[in-house]
Amino acid sequence: MDRRKFIAASLASSASALVRDAKAQANPGHLREFYELRRYTLQTGPQVALTEKYISEALVPALARKGSNPVGAFHLDIGPETPTFYVLIPIEGGVAAGNLEVELRRDEDYIKAAEPFWSAPAASPAFLRMDSSLLIAFEGWPRITPPAKGKRIFQLRTYESPSYRDHILKVQMFHSGEFEIFKNAGFQPVFFGDTLIGQRMPSLTYMLSFADSAEMDAKWNVFRNDPAWKKLSADPRFAFEAIVSNITNLVLSPLAASQI
């Protein structure tokens, strides 16, 4: 198949997958999840404790009451703009994702627990900024896969592409063997998501889990040296130009309230 036909087929496949998800609302067990990925940018000092308390005592319990689980809550260890918290919220449908904040505000227990965070005065705000992205899980990795129990670190990687064509090709690359290369290298992927609404689009984001930084470095070395990866990355369907223009690589650790 030549590259033009391959791109057209990839576009058609992506569109068909979205249509299938829209038609399957009555059967959520087989849906690709949607994710809201929240980022709370903080200032060193009281904001850190106040926002962590809000996440652990208000947000995560309210999401559990709504059936959103497992929720990931993380502290940024390596990356720009520390301190920062990230919250990964799985949602069964796009409509539910758009209505999440409205539903939370109808939860009296949530409002009561969130009060110190919500009503922090302008002179002493609870956070600097909060922004969020809406993602849909990859068709080949439709749901969150929590890692094994125990001490973990997490790598959150975002790939930006120079065009929507290149973005779709990068998503297709994962489905053309890259998932298997991750598995063969011993990775523990948590989720893969295609950004529907957010900053720096077109982009995709995925999360990996490791016991520690030494394991992370070792497994990436295995990945890079895998003959299957060398073959896939040289495939002319994907290697005709740089289909990824920027990579953001963050290392996170879970907060006590994290369910991932």
Nearest partner of 31 among 187, 150, 131, 137, judged by Cα = 137
- Both tokens assigned to 132: 């969020």
Strands (E), 201-242: 203-210
Q: What is the pLDDT of residue 4?
A: 54
Task: List the single range of 21-25, 144-148, 240-244 with lowest mean pLDDT.
Answer: 21-25
Asked if residue 174 has pLDDT above 60, the reply is yes
Q: How confident is the model at residue 2 (pLDDT cuts 50, 70, 90)?
A: low
**Quick check: bond before 70 cis, omega within 30?**
yes
State phi, psi for 168 to the nearest 5 degrees.
-65, -35
Q: What does the pLDDT average to over 14-43?
A: 67
Pairwise CA distance, residues 52 & 74, whole Å: 10
Summarize pLDDT for 81-92 with one digit per residue, the tens.
999 999 999 998
Report the C-alpha gap between 175 and 141 in whole angstroms: 9
Q: Is the peptide bond before 90 cis (omega within 30 degrees of 0)?
A: no
DSSP element (H, E) containing 248:
strand 246-254
Q: What's the rounded Cα separation, in Å, for the pair 181 and 235? A: 15
Parse the chain into domains and list their residue ranges: 3-254
pLDDT at 220 over 70: yes
CA 28/CA 227 separation, integer angstroms:
38
Determine the pLDDT at residue 15: 43
- Model confidence at 94, pLDDT cuts 50, 70, 90, reads low
pTM over 0.85: yes
In contact, 61 and 126? CB cutoff 8 Å:
no
Residue 92 pLDDT: 81
The span from the CA of 248 to the CA of 98, in Å, is 26
The pLDDT, as a whole number, for residue 98 is 73
Per-residue pLDDT, 29: 47
C-alpha torsion angle, residues 232, 235, 238, 240 (rounded to 10): 140
User: At the topology level of CATH, where does 3-254 sit?
Assistant: Alpha-Beta Plaits (3.30.70)
pLDDT band at 21 (very low <50, low <70, confident <90, very high): very low
Q: What is the pLDDT of residue 107?
A: 95
CA-nearest of 76, 100, 73, 98 to 88 is 73
pLDDT tens digits, 114-150 = 999 999 999 999 999 999 999 999 999 999 999 988 8
Confidence tier at 25 by pLDDT (50, 70, 90):
very low
